[in-house]
Amino acid sequence: MLERLWGENFLTQLPRSGLPRTLVLLPAREGSFSSATNPIKQIINTCMNDQKDKLWPMLKKLGVTMKSDEKELLGKALMKRVMQTWLPASTALLEVMIHHLPSPSMAQRYRVENLYKGPLDDKYAEAIRNCDPEGPLMLYVSKMIPASDKGRFFAFGRVFAGKISTGSKVRIMGPNYVPGQKKDLYTKSVQRTVIWMGKKQESVEDVPCGNTVALVGLDQFITKSATLTNEKEVEAHPICAMKFSVSPVVRAAVQCKVASDLPKLVEGLKRLAKSDPMVMCTIEESGEHVIAGAGELHVEICLKDLVDDFMGGAEIIKSDPVVSFRETVLEKSVRTVMSKSPNKHNRLYMEARPLEHGLAEAIDDGRIGPRDVRSNILSEEFGWDKDLAKKIWCFGPETTGPNMVVDMCKGVHYLNEIKDSVVAGFQWASKEGALAEESMRGICFELCDVMLHADAVHRGGGQIIPTARRVIYASQITAKPRLLEPVYLVDIQAPSRHLVAFMVFWIRNVGMSLRRV
């Protein structure tokens, strides 16, 4: 029977004898709908209509037993409880995972190229590909889970190769780690190795590859995510960081209701930022603490967790959620702009233009990286000259943002001496744009010419940094600046009777309906 529920199998109530095949199939329906969905629909309708005299005999035939207090439920609550008892989703989901999801040993064979940042033919990539328990340790920490101990966290992640054991020394590569450098690189011993089972944890001696694990004793060196390997594996590259389909675009400011609770707020924000990979906690220049999340509900949940779990119930004052905008330009600057240094001895000339379509996204994805790879991608996909691609000074804000400064100067003396100062001014300006002090996005600033004083004393950072910031603002304003508002593209499925309520919500949140089916 199960084999015939799905696919090109039909049930019909009409007798077959003496009737053409086409007439038999006309009133027929697929087997799964008539044999599976109709009983479910009948149970739901009976519960919603409170027809308990019909419901109890049906449940008895199905072998479903309800408690006495559950039998007193009505409507939706009754339907929900009946379905949870009769067809629990947990059982179905677990069976689907077991039968349809690939095992780690199978999945890592074709996913290693999307997981590992290093060469795909080194021993670390091979260990990940083969899910080798005897290979070098490769573990990715994806989440920090608050522990019952105040201020401590479990580092939760998955072992892709090798095995992790209690007491072993591991090499921690943070998200900002660059192979060959010591930035964001630490060495620490694992105090405890824990297997997480629902709400319970069980300490074990070691955990082999293919399993998830929680580690104790590493929370001081891991903010949100990290790659772990053995202490002596100095040639290992980190595992790629997780990509989220949404960004933290809704912000809310928080402050203490009682000034003496400020240390609790600061510590609570640190713990909140660790516990949620999506949330961002920042401090503005004015000293204001800001929480950014994916939406109003996410920010509301974060604020509740901040007060209840991380601040011990201390009261806070929160602002209304606001959306983060981005500043951009629509066309090239109408003219070359110039800015003089405070001492009037140096001049910077600059123009701004929008980046090519798709280039900002490529920068966000990390594809525009080292110079050799950068030149090939920019020339092949975006039509850049290879020599020009090598003259990109920096990206921003935060050195990785979707804006850039390009050196277009020719025959200028002392240019390399002011490069760091121009980059510093660009990072400052790109983080706080000219329109609304929001971060910039998708702008290419072309440094056209430079006039510098011959004496190095008169062209120091104190003269060049504010000059670079002003000329960047001027070039942005002359290139038709605009504000970018984040928009979520969503599909909503709902009964027709709820359409009016959805439209009211849509209009109140400045939504736009693209298609109605």
In a domain, 240, yes or no: no
Q: Please state, in angstroms and rounded to a whole number, the distance separating the CA atoms of residues 144 and 157.
A: 9
Higher pLDDT, 47 or 473: 473
End of a domain among 36, 70, 95? 95
Looking at the fold, whether 27 and 56 belong to one and the same domain comes out as yes
- The DSSP line for 207-222 is EETTSEEEEES-TTT-
**Is residue 33's pLDDT more than 80?**
no
Rounded-to-10 torsion of CA 449, 451, 457, 462: -50
Res 344: pLDDT: 92
In a domain, 503, yes or no: no
In a domain, 511, yes or no: no
Provide, for the chain, the percentages of residues in helix, strand and coil under a 3-state DSSP scheme, each rounded to the nearest 5. 35, 25, 40
Looking at the fold, whether 349 and 472 belong to one and the same domain comes out as yes
In a domain, 497, yes or no: no
C-alpha distances out from residue 128 to 117, 155, 208, 319, 321, Å: 12, 20, 12, 46, 43
What backbone phi and psi angles, to 5 degrees, belong to 140?
-115, 120
Res 467: pLDDT: 96
Looking at the fold, whether 334 and 474 belong to one and the same domain comes out as yes
Q: If you search the block for the tokens 């998830």, which residue do you land on?
A: 212
In a domain, 499, yes or no: no
Q: Please state, in angstroms and rounded to a whole number, the distance separating the CA atoms of residues 421 and 347.
A: 13
Looking at the fold, whether 346 and 453 belong to one and the same domain comes out as yes
**Is residue 504's pLDDT more than 80?**
yes
- Write out the residue range of the structural domain in which residue 349 sits: 328-484
- Check which CATH number belongs to the domain holding 129 and give it: 2.40.30.10
Looking at the fold, whether 339 and 299 belong to one and the same domain comes out as no
Residue length, the chain? Answer: 517
Q: Which residues have CB under 8 Å from 359's CB, separation 6+?
A: 368, 378, 382, 402, 442
In a domain, 425, yes or no: yes
Q: pLDDT grade, residue 506 (50/70/90)?
A: confident
Looking at the fold, whether 313 and 332 belong to one and the same domain comes out as no
342: burial class by Cβ within 10 Å (0-12, 13-18, 19+)? Answer: exposed
Name the residue among 211, 191, 213 with its Cα closest to residue 201. 213
End of a domain among 308, 324, 340? 324
**Is residue 26's pLDDT more than 60?**
no
Looking at the fold, whether 293 and 347 belong to one and the same domain comes out as no
Token output for 401: 């943002």
Angle between helices 52-62 and 75-86 (to 10 degrees): 10
In a domain, 490, yes or no: no
Residues 404-410: contacts with CB under 8 Å, at least 24 apart: 404/355, 404/363, 404/444, 404/445, 405/445, 405/447, 406/444, 406/445, 406/446, 406/447, 407/447, 408/446, 408/447, 408/448, 409/447, 409/448, 409/449, 409/450
Least confident of 16-25, 395-404, 460-469, 487-496: 16-25
Q: pLDDT grade, residue 4 (50/70/90)?
A: low
Looking at the fold, whether 29 and 86 belong to one and the same domain comes out as yes
Looking at the fold, whether 25 and 57 belong to one and the same domain comes out as yes
Res 18: pLDDT: 47
H or E stretch at 403: strand 403-407
Q: pLDDT grade, residue 166 (50/70/90)?
A: very high
Looking at the fold, whether 222 and 336 belong to one and the same domain comes out as no
What ranges make up the beta strands (E) of 84-219? Answer: 138-146, 153-161, 163-165, 169-173, 185-189, 192-197, 200-204, 206-208, 212-216
> How, if at all, do strands 403-407 and 443-451 pair?
parallel
Looking at the fold, whether 206 and 166 belong to one and the same domain comes out as yes
- Check which CATH number belongs to the domain holding 82 and give it: 3.90.1430.10
> For 323-348, how does the pLDDT look when each residue is reduced to its tens digit (9 = 90+)?
889 999 999 999 999 999 999 999 99
> For 208-229, how does the pLDDT look when each residue is reduced to its tens digit (9 = 90+)?
999 999 999 998 899 889 999 9
User: Are 406 and 396 in contact, with CB atoms under 8 Å apart?
Assistant: no
In a domain, 471, yes or no: yes
* Total domains in the fold of the chain: 4
Name the residue among 108, 114, 109 with its Cα closest to residue 366. 114
Token output for 286: 């004015």
> For 458-483, how does the pLDDT look when each residue is reduced to its tens digit (9 = 90+)?
999 999 999 999 999 999 999 999 99
End of a domain among 324, 348, 369? 324
User: Are 206 and 165 in contact, with CB atoms under 8 Å apart?
Assistant: yes
- Check which CATH number belongs to the domain holding 302 and give it: 3.30.70.870
pTM of the predicted model over 0.85:
no
- Check which CATH number belongs to the domain holding 390 and give it: 3.30.230.10
What is the chain's alpha carbon radius of gyration, rounded to the nearest angstrom? 30
Looking at the fold, whether 353 and 365 belong to one and the same domain comes out as yes
Q: Please state, in angstroms and rounded to a whole number, the distance separating the CA atoms of residues 282 and 29.
A: 58
> For 414-448, how does the pLDDT look when each residue is reduced to its tens digit (9 = 90+)?
899 999 999 999 999 999 999 998 999 999 999 99
